[in-house]
Amino acid sequence: MKIETREYQASDVDYAMGHGVNDRVIHCAPTGSGKTIIQCLIAKREMDRGNSTAILTPRNEIFTQTHGAAASICGANNVSTMRAKRQGEYWNPMNPVHVISWPTLIARVRKDKDFWFPRVDRVLVDECHLSMAPKILEILNHYELKARVDGYTATPARQTGRGLGYYFTEIKNVVSVRQLIKEGYLAPVEYYGADAPDLTGIKIRKGDYEVGKLSKACVELVGDAIDNWLRLASDRHTITFAVDIRHCEALADRFNRVGIKAEALHTGLSQGDRDRVVAAFKAQKIQVLVNVGIASYGFDAPSVRCVQVCRPTKSIVLHLQMIGRGMRPKPDGGECMVLDHAGNVPRLGMADDLFRWRLDDGKKACDNWSRHPKSGEAEESKQYECQECRHIFSRQRICPKCGWQVPFSKRDIEAKDADLVPIGRNTAKPLPPDWPSYEVFYAMLRHYAQEKGRKPMWAVFTFEKKAKCRPPHEWNNHALVPPSPRVLNYIRSREIAFYKAKQRA
């Protein structure tokens, strides 16, 4: 199989071959840029020099892909493998190229460290953002001053957001998402918003939401996730990201109940069942793959045209890895659709934003530079969600899908006190930036009350809970306004809280 080498791949190979043993470099390359190909080209170059290379992979799904590429580029007879219980694969310490499952290596070096550590001149660590665990660091420290070490990842930070400076010494940016989209190596992305779960009261642990309560909040929106997918993406090969096994199984079950062939993929399945599900999905015998974590990195399925994110996160690493699963280029040049049921896109950004990565250990390793005032992109990258079709867009005020226009607000005309509305003798609480004015909020509540047959005072009491004061009487003469998704989410969260309190009583 002939593999075409792209210009940026060849340039990165040259860079890797030039650094010394003391330089432990992270090569930051987006999902879909061909990190596996770069690693195998480095292994080939080392082999031609008479040197040996170990490529460390974290998971079976990545291992198989790496082994195939290494066999094509370096020659099957030159590649040995280290993976548990695989018929037809063999380990030969004398071969110049080794593809190694690092969980298997960790297990085997406990028994015989001298035999199982391969004697190599270079170590390539795939998905190196996962490599800061103590057992993996033990492997990397073994090669300190013995071999050149390079890490490859699209997101050079731990999932907690902390940097990788404890071990690595440099970040090399290989290529940007924007360049890959422009050159046709990645598919552009279209984003659609949806009802997001109420995250009130959910604690942050190790840089992300607590899974137990997060799962409970997200399970309540399973029906909404299916309805939106049927409306927007029913003809698309889809990966869905769930919070935990319970949420994953609930989503897969609901898909199947409406006649969509879906399977759940999670660590609760045996390795054989996982392999079967992945193979069936890649063969497009399964339309929707609902997974927990397994397909979030290193999972290559170019046929995927929709990524459904039902897992809220504060981790930019997980966010970008999930979106990246659908960005492989499409045969027809089409786009990838992202259905954001988690509110991640407004919170963390779009895949082609400019992200700055740092090596700082123990500190936040990434900033969305596109949102920084000094970047020159802050206004352009401001996101809007269409109130008609839920399309999320930026760099313009007119929805490219349906023509809805973002209304101008007082804030757009630099009214500094637009967030505060005097009401009677009191002043309302400050509102979040993406919330409508209190006047519009009250009009939305009145519209909702009329539509649902609620008494007029329901709107007054609901407003009072939010603003901590009553609306002016003359606002009852204003026109009604259909509630925005954010306001509907707020109403829903208050109703859920009310019924829970009633059940406890």
Cβ contact 418:427 at 8 Å:
no
**Cα–Cα distance for residue pair 329/28, rounded to 1 Å:** 20
**Cα–Cα distance for residue pair 498/501, rounded to 1 Å:** 5
- CATH hierarchy code of domain 189-353: 3.40.50.300
Give the type of residue at 195: D
Q: What is the DSSP string of 425-465?
A: TEEPPPPPTTSPPHHHHHHHHHHHHHHHT--HHHHHHHHHH
pLDDT recorded at residue 73: 95
**Cα–Cα distance for residue pair 159/313, rounded to 1 Å:** 10
Dig out the tokens for 265 from the structure: 């993929």
Domain pair 7-176 / 189-353, same fold = yes
pLDDT recorded at residue 320: 92
Domain residue ranges of the chain, discontinuous segments joined by +: 7-176, 189-353, 414-504
Give the contacts of 118 (CB within 8 A, at least 6 positions apart).
Answer: 52, 54, 82, 93, 98, 100
pLDDT recorded at residue 487: 86
pLDDT recorded at residue 282: 92
| SS percent in the chain: helix, strand, coil, step 5 | 40, 15, 45
Dig out the tokens for 40 from the structure: 């195998």
pLDDT recorded at residue 265: 94
Quote the crossing angle between the two packed helices 456-467 and 485-504, to the nearest 10°. 90
Cβ contact 241:311 at 8 Å:
yes
Strand partners, 191: 338, 392
Mean pLDDT by groups of 10 residues along the chain of 505 residues: 84 92 91 92 96 91 88 94 78 91 85 78 92 86 87 90 90 94 93 86 87 88 90 94 93 94 93 91 95 78 92 92 91 91 92 89 80 69 82 82 72 35 47 72 88 88 85 79 85 83 75
**With b meaning 16 or more CB within 10 Å and e meaning fewer, what string describes 406-433?**
beeeeeeeeeeeebebebeeeebeebee
DSSP 8-state symbol, 131:
T
> Rounded to two decimals, what is the model's pTM?
0.74
pLDDT recorded at residue 420: 31
Q: CATH number for 7-176: choose from 3.30.565.10, 3.40.50.720, 3.40.50.300, 3.30.70.1290.
A: 3.40.50.300
pLDDT recorded at residue 422: 39
| Pairing relationship of beta strands 204-205 and 208-209 according to DSSP bridges | antiparallel
pLDDT recorded at residue 331: 84
pLDDT recorded at residue 415: 31
Dig out the tokens for 383 from the structure: 């996101």
Runs of H (alpha helix) within 147-270 = 177-182, 211-219, 222-232, 245-257
Cβ contact 158:317 at 8 Å:
yes
pLDDT recorded at residue 413: 34
pLDDT recorded at residue 423: 40
Q: Rounded to 5 degrees, what are φ and ψ at 357?
A: -110, 140
